[in-house]
Amino acid sequence: MMILMSRNATEEEIQAVVDRIGENGLHALPLPGGQRVAIGIPSAIPPELRPLLDETLSVMNGVDQVVHITRPYKLASRDFHPQETVIQIGGVQIGGGICAVMAGPCAVESYDQLKASAAAVKEAGATVLRAGAYKPRTSPYSFQGLQKQGLEILQAVGKEVGILTITEVIDPHDVELVAQYADVLQIGARSMQNFPLLIAAGRSGKPMLLKRAPSATIDEWLAAAEYLLAHGSDQVMLCERGVVPVDRTYARNTLDLNAVPILKYHTHLPVIVDPSHGIGHARYVPAMALAGVAAGADGLLIEVHPNPEKAMSDGAQSLNPEAFKELMSKIAKLKSALNG
Ligand code: PEP
Ligand code: MN
């Protein structure tokens, strides 16, 4: 529910509405706009309370209109948070016109492999090192990641090379542990609706990257983001990584670039594009990375491996350091053309 105050509503009238909402056991969130103030109620309103609230609030002085919001997300919505969220982590900005590039191998495989990856992506201009220590694999016989040892390597390499780190957490019980080792937590596509995981991750207070599940609608994805926000997180990025394709002959998934402008319009959260999982073949990744930037993405998540043929997971979609460097220079040119 959103209460739109009239343009000339006084401070006292606004406060009276906030107090009345509070008397009903609900939290009111005043949202000053250019012309007038809106007051949001971000939590769920018990159905029996709705008609009463509607009636009592709409006749209060200074109230113009009471609007019902039927979307499954509120805190993630631009209605509740009109200005875009800019995430700052240790000197790195994500959002606010900067295109942050997070790059690295699919998985931490060894200290040497990660060190070589980190050095290469940093040199090319990436600001965050990506690498999974816990790998959610389709087959239980595939490489599952180095787990805690992987986290230790990730943290050590991040410090040595001087680059922020992002890694996936797949189990709610591991959130605290992963949060100790990495700068940003990644919630993977397969975990998007693991609600206990979202709650634990939200409570960690860490910056978060929430991937879209392969069959999730935009509303389901934003409702998942709402879990993170409702449980205390205020630094959430949304990552489009491809949805279920019509045809898997040529691409692993279909990168839904429609999602970028749609999300930028409806939410205030930074939007990241992952062309690697989106298309699934290294030769096509640069084109889709550039398309993501052109569509307005606030960042990219790209798999880069020092030796993709030897990668223990997702080698086929991983760029080698040279291809990544070339892509980074094209991204810089595209960004300056778009800004110019
Ligand atoms: C990954 O980033 O390596 C990963 C497992 O991605 P997704 O959750 O999008 O499949
Ligand atoms: Mn991967």
Question: What is the per-residue pLDDT across 276-289, written as a single tens digit (0 to 9) for each?
Answer: 999 999 999 999 99
Query: Where in the sequence is the domain holding 245, given as residue range(s)?
Result: 87-338
Q: Distance (Å, rounded) from C-alpha 47 to C-alpha 82?
A: 27
Alpha carbon nearest to ligand 1 atom 6, residue: 188
* pLDDT score of 261: 98
Residue type, 269: L
Q: Are residues 265 and 140 in the same domain?
A: yes
Residue 197 sits in the same domain as residue 302: yes
Where among 67, 97, 123 does a domain terminate?
67
Residues with beta carbon < 5 A to ion ligand 2?
106, 314
Given a contact cutoff of 8 angstroms between Cβ atoms, the answer to whether 223 and 195 are in contact is no
From the CB of 241, is ligand 1 less than 6 Å away? yes
Residue 108 CA to ligand 1 center (angstroms) comes to 13
- Is the pLDDT confidence value at 108 over 90? yes
What is the distance in A from the centroid of ligand 1 to the CA of 274? Answer: 9
- How many angstroms does the Cα of residue 185 sit away from the middle of ligand 1? 12
Residues 56 and 106 in one domain: no
Confidence label for 16 from pLDDT (cuts 50, 70 and 90):
very high
Are 55 and 8 within one domain?
A: yes
| 61 and 119 part of one domain | no
Q: Ligand 1 centre and the CA of 311: distance in Å? A: 15
Ligand 1 close to Cβ of residue 106 (< 6 A): yes
Query: What total of structural domains would you count in the chain?
Result: 2
What's the mean pLDDT in 256-270? 98
* pLDDT tens string 298-319: 999 999 999 999 999 999 999 9
Q: Give the tens place of pLDDT for each residue, 207-246.
A: 999 999 999 999 999 999 999 998 999 999 999 999 999 9
Q: And the tokens for 299?
A: 């960042």
108 found inside a domain: yes
| pLDDT score, position 235 | 97
Distance, CA 273 to ligand 2 centroid (Å)?
A: 14
Q: For residue 330, tell me if it sits in a domain.
A: yes
pLDDT (0 to 100) of residue 80:
86
CATH of the domain at 29: 3.30.70.1140
Distance of CA 279 to the CA centre of its chain: 19
The enclosing domain of 232 has a CATH number of: 3.20.20.70
Residue 138's alpha-carbon distances to 49, 142, 204, in angstroms, are 45, 8, 27
Ligand found nearest the CA of 130? 1
What span, in angstroms and rounded, lies between the C-alpha atoms of 16 and 290?
50
Q: Can you tell me which atom of ligand 1 is nearest the CA of 189?
A: 8
Interatomic CA distance for residues 197 and 176, integer angstroms: 11
Q: State whether the beta carbon of 252 lies less than 6 angstroms from ligand 1.
A: no
Q: Are residues 43 and 160 in the same domain?
A: no
* Ligand 1 neighbour 20 (Cβ under 6 A): no
What's the CA-to-centroid distance between 303 and ligand 2, angstroms? 7
**Would 80 be classed as within a structural domain?**
no
117 within a domain of the structure (yes/no): yes
- Distances from the Cα of 236 to the Cαs of 86, 94, 98, 208, 228, in angstroms? 10, 10, 16, 5, 8
Is 212 touching ligand 1 by the criterion CB < 6 Å? no
pLDDT at 252 over 90: yes
Average pLDDT score over residue span 194-200: 97
Classify residue 48 by its DSSP letter.
G
Structure confidence at residue 227 (pLDDT): 95
